[in-house]
Structure formats: structure tokens, C-alpha cells
Amino acid sequence: MYIYNSHTKQKEKFVPIKDNDVKVYVCGPTVYDDAHLGHARSSISFDLLRRVLKANGYNVTFVKNFTDIDDKIINKINTTGKTLQEITQHYIDSYLHDMGALGVQRADIEPKATESLDAMFELINILKTKGYTYELNGDIYFDTSKDENYCSLSHKCQDDAESRVSIEGKKHPADFALWKGCKGDGDVCFDSPFGKGRPGWHIECSAMIKKHIAYEGEFEIDIHGGGADLFFPHHENEEAQSSCAYGGHLAKYWMHNGFVNINGEKMSKSLGNSFFIKDALKVYDGEILRFYLMGTHYRAGLNFNEEDLLASKKRLDKLYRLKKRIYGLNKTNKDKDFEDRLLQAMNDDLNISKALAVIDEFIASANDELDKNPKDKSLKQKINSNINFIHNLLGIGGKDAYEYFQMGIDDDTKEKIEALIAKRDKAKKEKNFEIADQIRDGLKELGIAISDTPNGTIWEKI
RNA sequence: GGCAUCAUAGCCAAGUGGCUAAGGCAGGAGCCUGCAAAGCUCUGAUCCCCGGUUCGAAUCCGGGUGGUGCCUCCA
């Protein structure tokens, strides 16, 4: 397996730190609002990584945190009158629900910042003792000038003179708060060895990694992931804290997913073009959204566009139409060659385009063979096995093939459609094609497409 | 302003030194069908521009142009 390491800026062969185990930490959301398409893309990207690692036989421990203390959460507390717990739990549930709809598997460990304070205290204490910190207005800052390796991770730092950041009393623009002293009314404060206050943003990830999955030695974990925006300063700062406190480096491989843009520009609330997953799910099935969002390589930017999404859906439809042709089959017949080719594609830094091409070629040849040998049981079992493999590896193709094409249609309507089809079949038998075609046109106007097959007439929602 | 990153057919998107530049959507032709739909087969690009390296470049180097991102919370 090969992974593009954003630290070294090149594709590297993936070799776990220890035996067959792989420790992965992905930066999760700050839970102050519903999840948007960007969260979806990041989640799906690392969900694919996790599935591919497992398919390669690795024993994966996957950690994704929830940042449940932050300025924006405090704002929400002050504007809504709700408690921190009420707000964060609501958005955690909402996030997990939306990701579930997108076929993202739950992490093995889901730590919260507010439940990891002890680990943060330990880390801050070590940094204090080693002389990497200074105090300012009741806050504790990390002094980046004391870390001679600062910026060796992202290479995105710059001279003070070029920085747009205001200094605000900090010794250097890049210095960042490890602990923020309590600011009084309206603030949310926790007891700590440094007085009442709350953690800075970057400290939690380093602390949680140490607490839950870190190795002793050159690298604490195998893979650290997150959105491209987190590379600097968030990940740079995590690396700085962890390496200064514990020696070694935080992660062996760093992975960053590209952004979702809308109409060519970054999706963000200030631009008024953000797109919540829960709203998207009202219009599109989660699996269709997943398939669309994962169709562009995880490192590339993705420009969200409804036409592309529909084109992408048509590609997924083909998988389900094939699945229909072997409907009800339980037995499988392993197709080693197909599995190898598909996995090999994904092993190349999650090359989804290559993988989808392998799948499309499989679908075409399977349809062709089924046309020629409609009763070949071994062939059907092979197809069944391959679809199962695709489902496990990519998280698509797992639904009931008929339900997939009939989503969002209630039972009443289904009965009406079936009745019309029966009526049409009768007309067809009587060679009354004019009536048959009228019924078909009528269904089409209702958004229902029908096709005559050797096994009878079937229908799909258009 | 500084630093990244990208630029492949109408659209989406692989390919990063060498057979005829993957795959999908849309379009065209054919087979199949009562007619359709679905499915299958066939069909399209010399790779933003200029210069260079090389026997050979979409692929490496230099210079342009354009897009996006980061530098402030952000997936």
C-alpha cells in the first residue's frame, strides 16, 4: 500500500510502526453546528482509508475526536441559554446520524476534549517544566521559537514581517495558547493546575493521542489525518507540542483531504454557500452523496455541482442494475483476480478513479456474460461475491437492489404503480399497444421508468 | 503581500519519461425490443501558453497566464 505523505510531499510505501497494527487519528468536528459537505468529504475519505487498511489485513485502531469546547460553542451557550452538554451532545448525535447515512463507520474511540482534560494537564505540565511556555494575561502560550523544528512539518510558516496575524502581545505570531485563563462571566471554565480556564484548540489532539493510542519511540502513531486547512497551523502545532514534550514525532504519515468548493469557491458560512448534510439528505440518498463525494480523489478539490452528482448517480445505478440481475442469490464464488485488481487500485494512495474503472469494466463484462449465459450459476455467484467485496471496500452497493431504485416512494404509490403495470401487461398480451404505451407514458410523467424483461416488467424511479 | 497547490475531450476524472492518453456522464451509430427502457458493441482529446533538457515528455526544468487553498475559526 502506498500513501501520499503531506509531510514529505510524496507517495511512500506504507509500513506500520509495529507488526500488523495501525493506529490512525483523524481530527473530528467542533460540535457547534450541523455537519456540512466538507465534513462529509473528510469523513468519507478517511473511512475509505480505514476500509482499505482492513482489507489489507491490518489491525486498525481508528480514533476520531469531538472538539466540545471552543469559542463558537461558548457563543452558542450565551445566545441560546442552553448548557454546553446540551449543545454539544445534540451536534454530536446529529453528526453521527449524518455520517451514518453516508455509510461512514463509527470510530473505535471517540474522545471528547472535555473528557480529556487530565491528559492535557499532563502535557502542558511537561512543556512548562521543559521551558517551552510563557504566560500572558493569564493564558499559557507555547513559545514556537524554543522549538528548533517548528515548521518542519508543513513548511508553511513565514517571517513575522510577512504575517497577517496581529501579535497581541505574543512573542511571535505563530505562538499559540495551550491554556486560556477564565475570562469571567459568559466564559466556560474548568479547574486546572494552572487555575480556572479552558484548553486551547491544538492541545487536545496531542493529549488524546498520547492518552489513547501512542507508542513510545520515534513516532507516536502511524497515520494522522484531517482537512487540508488543518495542516497549518493546527497540525504543525500538534507536532510541536508532542515532539517537545515526548520526543520523537507525532505521526509517521500525515494525510490531508482536499476541500469541497461550491461554484468555484470555498464553502463557508461567511460566504453564505455552506451546504448541510442533513439538507442534502432530504434530496439525495446518503449512498448517492457518498458515491459522488468519494468519486474525486481525496487530495483534489471537489467543486460541488448538482449535474455532476446526477451523472455520478447514473454510474452507481449500473452497479445496482447488475445486482438486480442476480437478485436473491446468497451463494458466492470468490473472484480473486477482481479483488486483487480493485484492492491494488485503492492501495495506490486510494486511487478511486482507477478503482471505479475496474468496477465499471467488471459490470460491463458481467452484463455481457449474463446475456450470453443467463443460467450460469457459478457466474452469478462470482458477481454476487464481487458486489459484496465492493460493498466492504468502498461502502457502496450494499442496499437491496429494488429498494435502491424505489427510494422515497410510499407503499400506496407502489401499489398504484404495480396496478398500472398489470393493466399494461394485459394490454400488451392483447396486442393493444396503444393503451400499453399510454400507460407507460403516463408513468413516465410521474417519474417512473419501466422496462420489459424476460422476467416481467420492472420499474425504477427516474 | 508571503507560501502552497492545480490546469488532460462538451462535462466529471485517471495517467507523473517510452506500446494506439483509463473509466464515467452527455452525444452519434448498431444489436436487442411490438415500440421503448435497460444491457452489449463501435465512435471523440496530443494533454493552458512559450522556451529548455532528452533518442523520446501530458509526465522533468525555467518563464508566463488562469483557478483554488492556507497565512484568522474552519473538514
Distances (CA, A) of A17 to A23, A26, A343: 9, 17, 22
Give the pLDDT confidence of A321-342 residue by residue, as tens digits.
999 999 999 999 999 999 999 9
- The domain defined by A2-262 folds into Rossmann fold (3.40.50)
Q: Which nucleotides of B are covered by protein (CB under 7 A)?
A: 1-6, 11-15, 22-26, 33-41, 67-75
Pairing of strands A176-181, A197-199: antiparallel
Q: How far is the CA of A11 from the C1' of B57 (A)?
A: 21
ipTM rounded to 2 decimals: 0.95
Predicted pLDDT at A270: 64
Sheet holding A249-257, edge to edge: A59-64, A21-26, A219-227, A249-257
pLDDT digits (tens, 9 = 90+) for A47-74: 999 999 999 999 999 999 999 999 999 9
Domain boundaries, chain A: 2-262, 316-402, 408-461
Q: Would you tell me how many other CB atoms lie within 10 Å of the CB of residue A164?
A: 6
- Average pLDDT, integer, range A181-207: 93
CATH architecture for residues A316-402: Up-down Bundle (1.20)
The pLDDT of residue A156? 82
> Which nucleotide does the CA of A345 lie closest to, via C1'?
B14
Reported residue count of chain A is: 462
Residue whose CA lies closest to nucleotide B11 C1' = A308
Question: With 60 as the cut, is the pLDDT of residue A143 above it?
Answer: yes
Q: Which residue is nearest to nucleotide B15 (CA to C1')?
A: A354
Q: Are strands A219-227 and A249-257 parallel, antiparallel or unpaired?
A: parallel
User: Taking residues A252-276, what's their average pLDDT?
Assistant: 82
- Which nucleotide has its C1' atom closest to residue A163's CA? B71
How many Å apart are A383 CA and B17 C1'? 39
Burial code (b: 16+ CB inside 10 Å, e: under 16) for A290-313 equals bbbbbbbbbeeebebeeeebeebb
Give dist(CA A108, CA A110) in Å, integer. Answer: 7
CA of A294 to C1' of B7 (A): 21
What are the tens digits of pLDDT across the range A83-124?
999 999 999 999 999 999 999 999 999 999 999 999 999 999
- The pLDDT of residue A275 is 84
| Residues A302 and A294: beta-carbon distance below 8 Å | no
- Between A158 and A128, residue with greater pLDDT: A128
Residue A162 has pLDDT above 50, yes or no: no
